[in-house]
């Protein structure tokens, strides 16, 4: 039975029994503590904990899930996977244990011809919480299970909670006995013999504080009892499809088959290869589903997980021996299987594939650059007599070039080295701690927020900056290093909380205002403004004059020119966003922004670079909107009202129920935004796009200047044009043709120079062939060509010399040159030399090692290179010495 059919039958069964079919929530989790949804109940949590009233009493779903904790274990065993699907049926105060057990047993054992799964009842068991006599009695009555097929387990195994005080309850599982080949009889915890595939949670209690899976107090019973069940779709698939594990089911195994075909290696022969095949199959499917739900590769959070999955899949294909781009071959195979359950993937595959293929292209370039750094590190380690690559070097490869640590370990092993993985992990931990500390320092000023919360309890800071730039206020409190302080003197930098303030706190991509806070004999320079806790605005200030104390009456005033330019930049960001969507279409949605006085940048979802004509069109649409003097207004409404009105809620932002909608020109631009803006679009002033670039697969960045900064930028451009005109003695409109002509003439000259240089190199062939060195009967030519000879010309020279050598004597030709600071070597052998069992590939590796690099090729011609020009002469001498050893040994 196909996985899609197992899924369909589950939903149909419960829909026929009064359950509302609820679509899967997207993979990215709205929970700030989670990257992705990891359980079938995820979208129903607000109903279970009483935060919201469910719109139905019964529901069923198949939830897409991604588990990230075990990525490194994927493939090593057949248990670990990243993407999985959880079938569930849910009751919110409706039916309870009896119906849940009845439904589960009926669907599992009902004949396939009657819409069920057709499991053999004789091999099924039930596990229960050891004190749940009610569930035991129900299993006996409904399923007819005898005592020896009902297993009592403790709180650790058969009691569920969310890990925090709140709803909890006993569990009951359906297990299948897979036979003695999978483990010992009655061994419930070890091996794969008794496999649990459906978990029924009877949510009936309330738990108290306590850590771990057991030992916390049960405080009482819930007023309404709920049901949450989870049937592992992949597990049921491999049980019904007669295969041993999830990697062999219909949704996954075709990718393994394709990877085997591409690599020429077989699955099921060697464990090391099997691990790589499973990594490829799991990660390709996971990436397909993540990109389908809007995740794009990046360096943070969910984007980093996706990038890691894609790169591990690509790396595994390379380790299987497939060097060409692989996702273009594998992703469509996964699509063919997954679209049976998720048909929306098919029309979106153009975007999905662009994102994935762009990431593979970027990683292939990364591998090229990082491999050079790796080669140097290996050479340094070996030259110092070391046997272990330093953790700092492994960290550099990871941090700068995106090398997964296991890739570095694999490459090092090929060079006979180990890696200081402990040192690597230490540096990774330090980096994470620095990042967390930086974030805390930026947003909260101190890790301990108790001081801020104490001041917040005195009331919300009133923000007056939408209406005015100057406000009379009072100092509510001040903090030093996050702690409440009683005073601050000149020269100190402290944090100040006012009763009300006109200073905008950094948020929504807009940086904080600058200005002054003054009182009698006191003067403060505002350096930064943040919201460390909700409702509290905190000013970081430098005390310039006087003694600052709580209770002081002050006058807070924002720098007028700063705010004007900041408003121009933020409104300009909205204008550019609307122009992007008008030119490129609604999919060009903003995914991040940053604006400061006179400057803006905007990240948006797009998979290819914008040509000059498109950039010009976006700039023109934006400036037309500025010229039209469109009204800019802000309104408050509920979040549902804003969405119904068509306001854009941007990726990565969180919103309260009551939101502020900024509108420019009516429906042309409507966005949820708390920033400061101009009153009319004409006040944005000149707007000029200065650049467009990639910031990750599927994400582009556009940058622009506005207002006076735009005019200054255009002035610099005009001065540059004037200078070029004077130097090239051409009018501005003639410059493109003039520059193009100069470039073409330069190209022709360089080509001719290259031809002359190649001819000079090849002129040496006759003299070299006439004067070989005899090395135990082998005619050896070791020649260092002039610097600047490229690999192609070296190869021509080696082959030319070989062609001039006597065919009846063994001949080895080694030619070497240093080009752009990097040495390259080519070795050619004639047929007689190969009959003497000499191989060009073996000799070039010896030479390349002296050059700090590597090489390879066929037995007759091989090529290599490195990073150490100082080893050039030594490389030729080593080849000669090696020939002697091979011939005489």
Residue 35: the pLDDT is 85
Spatial separation of the C-alpha atoms in residues 486 and 862, rounded to whole Å: 77
Return contacts of 50-54, CB within 8 angstroms, 24+ apart.
54/92
Q: Give me the chain's average pLDDT, please.
A: 89
- Determine phi and psi for 425, rounding to 5 degrees: -65, -35
**Residue the block writes with tokens 């469109």:** 630
> Contact at 8 Å (CB) between 637 and 658?
yes
Asked if the model's pLDDT at residue 244 lies above 90, the reply is no
Residue 446: the pLDDT is 39
Q: Which residues are paired to 152 by β-bridges?
A: 128
Residue 391: the pLDDT is 87
Which residues, other chains included, contact 389 with Cβ-Cβ below 8 Å and sequence gap of 6+? Answer: 377, 378, 381, 408, 412, 417, 418, 419, 420
Q: Hey, what's the torsion of the CAs at 494, 497, 501, 503, to 10 degrees?
A: 40
> Contact at 8 Å (CB) between 177 and 194?
yes
pLDDT, average across residues 654-675: 86
> Contact at 8 Å (CB) between 85 and 62?
yes
The yes or no reply on domain 459-558 and CATH 2.40.30.130 is yes
Asked if the model's pLDDT at residue 782 lies above 90, the reply is yes
* Nearest CA-CA partner of 681 in 623, 605, 744: 623
Residue 720: other Cβ atoms inside 10 A: 10
Residue 65: the pLDDT is 94
Residue 300: the pLDDT is 75
> Contact at 8 Å (CB) between 516 and 562?
no
* % residues pLDDT > 90 (the chain): 62
Reported CATH class of domain 764-888: alpha beta
> Contact at 8 Å (CB) between 538 and 457?
no
Provide the pLDDT confidence category of residue 32 given band limits of 50, 70 and 90.
Answer: low
DSSP labels, 314-341: HHHHHHTT--S--HHHHHHHHHHHHTTT
**Please, what sign has the CA dihedral across residues 82, 83, 87, 92?**
positive
Q: Where are the alpha helices (DSSP H) in 16-153?
A: 45-48, 97-109, 133-138
Q: What is the pLDDT of residues 339-367, one digit of tens each?
A: 999 998 998 888 788 889 988 988 888 77
User: Could you tell me the two tokens for 873?
Assistant: 């002469």
Asked if the model's pLDDT at residue 545 lies above 50, the reply is yes
Q: What is the pLDDT of residues 806-858, one digit of tens each?
A: 999 999 999 999 988 899 999 999 999 999 999 999 999 999 999 998 888 88
Provide the pLDDT confidence category of residue 607 given band limits of 50, 70 and 90.
Answer: confident
DSSP labels, 171-210: EEEEEEE--GGGS-TT--SSSSSEEEEEEEEEEEEEE-S-
Spatial separation of the C-alpha atoms in residues 441 and 448, rounded to whole Å: 10
pLDDT, average across residues 6-13: 96
Q: What is the pLDDT of residues 694-713, one digit of tens each?
A: 876 678 899 999 999 999 99
Provide the pLDDT confidence category of residue 313 given band limits of 50, 70 and 90.
Answer: very high
Asked if the model's pLDDT at residue 608 lies above 50, the reply is yes
Spatial separation of the C-alpha atoms in residues 27 and 234, rounded to whole Å: 17
**Which residue numbers belong to the known binding site for Zn(2+)?**
570, 574, 673, 677
Provide the pLDDT confidence category of residue 191 given band limits of 50, 70 and 90.
Answer: low
Asked if the model's pLDDT at residue 648 lies above 70, the reply is yes
**Which residue numbers belong to the known binding site?**
570, 574, 673, 677
Q: What is the pLDDT of residues 407-448, one digit of tens each?
A: 788 778 878 888 998 888 888 878 767 655 554 444 444 345
Provide the pLDDT confidence category of residue 652 given band limits of 50, 70 and 90.
Answer: very low
Reported CATH class of domain 563-715: alpha beta
Residue 184: other Cβ atoms inside 10 A: 10
Asked if the model's pLDDT at residue 373 lies above 70, the reply is yes
Residue 846: the pLDDT is 92
**Please, what sign has the CA dihedral across residues 833, 836, 840, 845?**
negative
Please tell me which residue, 533 or 289, carries the higher pLDDT value.
289
> Contact at 8 Å (CB) between 774 and 780?
yes
Please tell me which residue, 71 or 562, carries the higher pLDDT value.
562
> Contact at 8 Å (CB) between 781 and 772?
yes
Q: Can you give the pTM of this predicted structure? A: 0.58
Residue 664: the pLDDT is 96
Provide the pLDDT confidence category of residue 534 given band limits of 50, 70 and 90.
Answer: confident
pLDDT, average across residues 734-747: 92
Helix (H) or strand (E) run with residue 637 in it: strand 632-638
Q: Name the superfamily (CATH) of residues 3-247.
A: Bira Bifunctional Protein; Domain 2 (3.30.930.10)
Q: Which residues are paired to 419 by β-bridges?
A: 389
- DSSP character for 18? T
Residue 440: the pLDDT is 47
632-638 vs 658-664, strand pairing mode: antiparallel
End-to-end alpha-carbon separation of the chain, Å? 63
DSSP E strands in 645-784: the ranges are: 658-664, 669-672, 687-696, 699-706, 773-775, 778-784
Spatial separation of the C-alpha atoms in residues 42 and 13, rounded to whole Å: 22
Q: What is the pLDDT of residues 247-293, one digit of tens each?
A: 999 999 999 999 999 999 999 999 999 999 999 999 999 999 999 88
Spatial separation of the C-alpha atoms in residues 434 and 618, rounded to whole Å: 39
Provide the pLDDT confidence category of residue 294 given band limits of 50, 70 and 90.
Answer: confident
> Contact at 8 Å (CB) between 142 and 105?
yes
């Amino acid at each position: 039975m196909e996985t899609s059919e197992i899924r369909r039958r589950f939903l149909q069964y419960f829909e026929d029994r009064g359950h509302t079919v609820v679509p899967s929530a997207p993979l990215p989790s709205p929970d700030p503590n989670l990257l992705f949804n990891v359980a079938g109940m995820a979208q129903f949590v607000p109903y279970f904990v009483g935060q919201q009233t469910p719109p139905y009493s019964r529901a069923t779903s198949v939830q897409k899930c991604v588990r990230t904790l075990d990525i490194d274990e994927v493939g090593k065993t057949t248990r670990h996977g990243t993407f999985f699907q959880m079938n569930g049926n849910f009751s919110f105060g409706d039916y309870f244990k009896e119906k849940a057990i009845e439904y589960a047993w009926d669907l599992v054992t009902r004949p396939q011809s009657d819409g069920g799964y057709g499991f053999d009842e004789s091999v099924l068991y039930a596990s229960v919480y050891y004190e749940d006599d009610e569930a035991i009695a129900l299993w006996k009555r409904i399923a007819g299970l005898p005592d020896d097929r009902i297993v009592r387990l403790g709180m650790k195994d058969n009691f569920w909670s969310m890990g925090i005080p709140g709803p909890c309850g006993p569990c009951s599982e359906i297990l299948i006995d897979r036979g003695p080949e999978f483990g010992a009889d009655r061994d419930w915890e070890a091996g794969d013999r008794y496999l649990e595939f459906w978990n029924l949670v009877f949510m009936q209690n309330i738990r108290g504080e306590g850590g771990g899976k057991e030992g916390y107090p049960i405080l009482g019973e819930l007023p309404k009892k709920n049901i949450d069940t989870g049937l592992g779709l992949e597990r049921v698939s491999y049980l019904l499809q007669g295969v041993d594990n999830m990697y062999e089911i219909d949704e996954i195994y075709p990718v393994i088959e394709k990877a085997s075909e591409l690599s020429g290696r077989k699955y099921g022969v060697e464990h090391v290869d099997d691990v790589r095949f499973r990594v490829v199959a799991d990660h390709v499917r996971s990436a397909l589903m993540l990109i389908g739900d809007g995740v794009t590769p990046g360096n943070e959070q969910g984007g980093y997980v996706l990038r890691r999955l894609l790169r591990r899949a690509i790396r595994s294909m390379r380790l299987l021996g497939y060097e060409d781009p692989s996702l273009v071959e594998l992703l469509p195979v996964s699509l063919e299987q997954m679209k049976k359950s998720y048909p929306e993937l098919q029309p979106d595959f153009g975007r999905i594939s662009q994102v994935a293929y762009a990431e593979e292209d970027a990683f292939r370039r990364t591998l090229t650059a990082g491999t050079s750094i790796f080669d140097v590190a290996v050479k340094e380690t070996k030259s110092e007599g070391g046997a272990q690559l330093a953790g700092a070097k492994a960290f550099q490869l990871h941090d700068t070039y995106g090398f997964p640590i296991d890739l570095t370990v694999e490459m090092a092993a090929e060079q006979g080295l180990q890696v200081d993985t402990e040192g690597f992990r230490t540096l990774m931990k330090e980096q994470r701690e620095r990042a967390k500390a930086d974030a805390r320092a930026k947003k909260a000023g101190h890790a301990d927020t108790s001081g801020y919360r104490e001041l917040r309890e005195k009331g919300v800071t009133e923000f007056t900056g939408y209406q005015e730039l100057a406000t009379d206020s009072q100092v509510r409190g001040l903090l030093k290093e996050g702690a409440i302080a009683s005073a601050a003197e000149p020269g100190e930098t402290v944090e100040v909380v006012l009763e009300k303030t006109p200073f905008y706190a950094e948020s929504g991509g807009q940086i904080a205002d600058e200005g002054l806070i003054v009182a009698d004999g006191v003067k403060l320079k505002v350096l930064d403004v943040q919201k460390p806790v909700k409702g509290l605005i905190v000013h970081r200030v430098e005390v310039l004059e006087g003694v600052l104390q709580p209770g002081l009456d002050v006058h807070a005033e924002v720098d007028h020119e700063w705010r004007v330019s900041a408003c121009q930049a933020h409104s300009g960001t909205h204008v550019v966003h609307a122009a992007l969507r008008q030119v490129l279409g609604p999919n060009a949605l903003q995914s991040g922004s940053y604006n400061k006085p006179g400057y803006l940048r905007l990240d948006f979802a797009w998979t290819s670079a914008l040509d000059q004509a498109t950039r010009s069109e976006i700039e023109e649409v934006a400036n037309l909107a500025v010229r039209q003097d469109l009204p800019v207004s802000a309104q408050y409404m509920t979040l549902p009202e804003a969405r119904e009105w068509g306001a854009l809620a941007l990726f990565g932002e969180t919103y309260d129920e009551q939101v502020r909608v900024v509108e420019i020109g009516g429906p042309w631009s409507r966005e949820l935004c708390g920033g400061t803006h101009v009153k009319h679009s004409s006040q944005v002033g000149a707007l000029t796009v200065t650049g467009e670039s990639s910031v990750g697969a599927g994400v582009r960045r556009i940058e622009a200047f506005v207002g006076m900064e735009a005019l200054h930028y255009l002035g610099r451009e005009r001065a540059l044009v004037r200078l070029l005109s004077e130097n090239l003695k051409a009018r501005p409109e003639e410059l493109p043709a003039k520059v193009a002509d100069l470039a073409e003439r330069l190209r022709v000259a360089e080509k001719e120079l290259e031809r002359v240089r190649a001819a000079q190199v090849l002129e040496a062939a006759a003299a070299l062939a006439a004067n070989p060195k005899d090395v135990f009967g082998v005619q050896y030519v070791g020649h260092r060509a002039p610097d600047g000879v490229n690999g192609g010309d070296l190869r021509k020279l080696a082959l030319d010399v070989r062609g001039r050598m006597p065919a009846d004597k063994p001949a080895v030709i080694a030619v070497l040159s240093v080009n752009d600071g990097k040495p390259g070597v080519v070795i050619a052998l004639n047929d007689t030399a190969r009959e003497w069992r000499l191989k060009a590939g073996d000799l070039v590796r010896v030479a390349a090692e002296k050059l700090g690099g590597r090489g390879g090729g066929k037995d007759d011609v091989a090529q290599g290179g490195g990073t150490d020009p100082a080893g050039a002469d030594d490389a030729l001498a080593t080849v000669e010495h090696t020939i002697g050893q091979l011939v005489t040994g």
